[in-house]
Structure 1
């Protein structure tokens, strides 16, 4: 752990530039899901309790360096005030005279929200001049936006190098969870990787086979691996052009002592719709006119046995077409087994990625995992073994 936390900083009376992710869904000017805002509460509560003056830096949408009124952060003020239990003052810029005046006028117990950082082209360009203008506004930099840490932007990377810097509570929690899962895990380590395409998770699979003991592959990706073994997968979603890559990953796994777990039986149907007529067949017996839409009961039993024998689990992606019943059965059952082992104290379980969070919520077990990351791209890039600029800047 080469980064500082809020506990390492003298915060009393200091203006703390706090990078947050409040890129939340909105409808008719109101926040429809405040999960990301709620997860910032520990950091803001700490800052206020220690006498700091928090100044929030955040992006919203993709305005591409232009002022887009529909992407202003001002409509978020009521949701922030409700979550933080403190008055939130808004200023229509994140640099310059207006921002400087707002910081100077900020009272103890108040929070200042600066306008969308992406209204400036220099944000996504990681512009040093923009970062320097932002740095003028504060004494300390705190990054609590792990979900934006894979971006080298002015407010996530350049700014962190200009002020004494630390991780906020959410960032700290995220980094500790991921470190315990991949950097210094208790073994055996199992990774569950699902989803539609091998091509989108090549780097991930390549990194994991060298680091985990078991790699469970599900979803459409599993079909590509089955096809690589010469199995006919009928009309299933399958990247036939990636079978050579799948063979290479299997060879690398074997060389690294990593066991790849593919479904031994599958649930097939002729149409992709809720309640479609379906049957369970051996993985190598998919009818030519059918498609594989879920892992079968024998596959679930095998995955459950692997989870029971594991000490650490990293999960990214569903095992089947979990969005529609009855093709959510394998994902739900495996998730429930992981939650059961976690509650029993035998498994540390870390999960992340949009579909994954949705699937675990649907299975009713999100609260039972050790840690669920709300960061999509950053979580994936961490699992891929990539350096995240926002984290590297804190370590520097």
Structure 2
């Protein structure tokens, strides 16, 4: 018998469902794809999550099961929103796999987010077992995520299994040196995971808008860049921690009063070393910082990338994220991208195929890395068919 990785201890997998031929299986997938509109109606802008759901659905069908899928789409807050209906998603899924019904958006019912037990019972009525393959929603205490394992045999799908194995492996047994790149706009969103990673990694690279609170903690002038003065002390504590922290030493900034974003061209763009002048906003790491970051990434044994290091949607501020992304893709070590905007950047720059593992969960990835567990995983480990772990 193959030994399970330690990260999967106690978690029921598909094989733990036993014989399922002829049985009805409810699968909680994460088909929450980005949607747009054109003259013909709703358009799916990226079907990565739909494609990622297929292996579990196919495996269940291959075992002779009847498969029904449920998912959330967007944030309708308990009301029916036609633009967030599952129709277009079900149609796209059918191009990858036949005969899988998709139940209407579970978040149209307010009882989903309230984790209402009666809603759980309605969802599982007529089903013999439940599979959670929605890693991107597994940090939510919602009915379709944590409820079914209380009542029917349950398992993690292939996607959820892989997410836990890879991200759990980062916490338990990474190849060294372990380098994490943490970016994004708000430092408050990443502070918790940073406090965990300083104990687990050898080097943390900090970029994006959140970097400016760290730079300000060092006494650097950050102009009109994003700054959370309430977190200066906590940022300084991380800087004083046990691992190496790399911050930008040069920054690409935009002149006062100018707009930024996709297709914007207004304003002057200047690279500054040291302090950023008043009114100027830092929107990307400079070329020297990007190269310094790339050197650390290239020599790593394990790389985790979560969050862009600049406003890459604006071509003027995309080069830092592109340089970092290329280094992640080309490293000889194990590369993991933690979902969200960094996954989108990897796709936009044509790098996704060169990365070892691309997570489907942004917030879920961060919460798992911070706490080492998620509500959905706890629920699965309490299912009646979960493997018992020797103590």
TM over 0.5: yes
Cα RMSD for the two superposed structures: 2.1
- Offset at 1:157? 0.5
Residue in 2 that maps onto 1:300: 290
Q: Name which of structure 1's ranges 260-269 and 44-53 shifts more when overlaid on structure 2.
A: 260-269
Distance 1:61 1:299, change over 3 A: closer
State the alpha-carbon separation in 1 of the partners of residues 323 and 287 from structure 2. 9
Are residues 1:148 and 2:137 paired?
A: yes
Residue in 2 that maps onto 1:336: 326
Are residues 1:157 and 2:146 paired?
A: yes
State the alpha-carbon separation in 2 of the partners of residues 353 and 269 from structure 1. 28
State the alpha-carbon separation in 2 of the partners of residues 11 and 308 from structure 1. 46
State the alpha-carbon separation in 2 of the partners of residues 373 and 322 from structure 1. 19
Residue in 2 that maps onto 1:42: 55
Residue in 2 that maps onto 1:105: none
Residue in 2 that maps onto 1:187: 176
Residues 1-396 of structure 1 aligned to structure 2 (within 5 Å): 1=8, 2-9=10-17, 10-24=19-33, 25-27=35-37, 28-84=41-97, 86=98, 110-251=99-240, 253=241, 257-270=242-255, 271-273=258-260, 274=264, 277-282=268-273, 284-341=274-331, 346-385=332-371, 387-396=373-382
Distance 1:289 1:172, change over 3 A: same
Distance 1:71 1:298, change over 3 A: closer
State the alpha-carbon separation in 2 of the partners of residues 45 and 237 from structure 1. 45
- Offset at 1:115? 2.6
Q: How many residues align?
A: 363
Q: Normalised by the size of structure 1, how large is the TM-score?
A: 0.85
State the alpha-carbon separation in 1 of the partners of residues 275 and 25 from structure 2. 61
Distance 1:118 1:319, change over 3 A: closer
- Offset at 1:322? 1.7
State the alpha-carbon separation in 1 of the partners of residues 236 and 143 from structure 2. 41
Distance 1:304 1:113, change over 3 A: closer
Distance 1:184 1:323, change over 3 A: same
State the alpha-carbon separation in 2 of the partners of residues 308 and 55 from structure 1. 43
The structure whose RCO (Cα within 8 Å, separation 6+) is larger is 2
Distance 1:31 1:264, change over 3 A: closer
- Offset at 1:26? 4.9
**SS of 1:212's equivalent?**
coil
State the alpha-carbon separation in 2 of the partners of residues 77 and 222 from structure 1. 40
Is the contact made by 2:73 and 2:85 (CA closer than 8 Å) also made in structure 1?
A: yes
Q: Name which of structure 1's ranges 301-310 and 191-200 shifts more when overlaid on structure 2.
A: 301-310
Is the contact made by 2:298 and 2:330 (CA closer than 8 Å) also made in structure 1?
A: no
State the alpha-carbon separation in 2 of the partners of residues 320 and 364 from structure 1. 17
**SS of 1:11's equivalent?**
coil
State the alpha-carbon separation in 2 of the partners of residues 26 and 217 from structure 1. 32
Q: Normalised by the size of structure 2, how large is the TM-score?
A: 0.86
**SS of 2:252's equivalent?**
strand
State the alpha-carbon separation in 2 of the partners of residues 320 and 113 from structure 1. 37
State the alpha-carbon separation in 2 of the partners of residues 139 and 391 from structure 1. 20
Distance 1:162 1:363, change over 3 A: same
- Offset at 1:67? 4.3
Q: Name which of structure 1's ranges 66-75 and 6-15 shifts more when overlaid on structure 2.
A: 66-75
Q: Deviations over 1:172-200 (max 9, x none)?
A: 22222212222321222111111122122
Gaps of 5+ in 2: 1-7, 383-391
- Offset at 1:286? 2.7
Q: Deviations over 1:121-149 (max 9, x none)?
A: 32212122222233332111111111111
Distance 1:221 1:111, change over 3 A: closer
State the alpha-carbon separation in 2 of the partners of residues 137 and 355 from structure 1. 38
- Offset at 1:59? 2.1
State the alpha-carbon separation in 2 of the partners of residues 357 and 113 from structure 1. 26
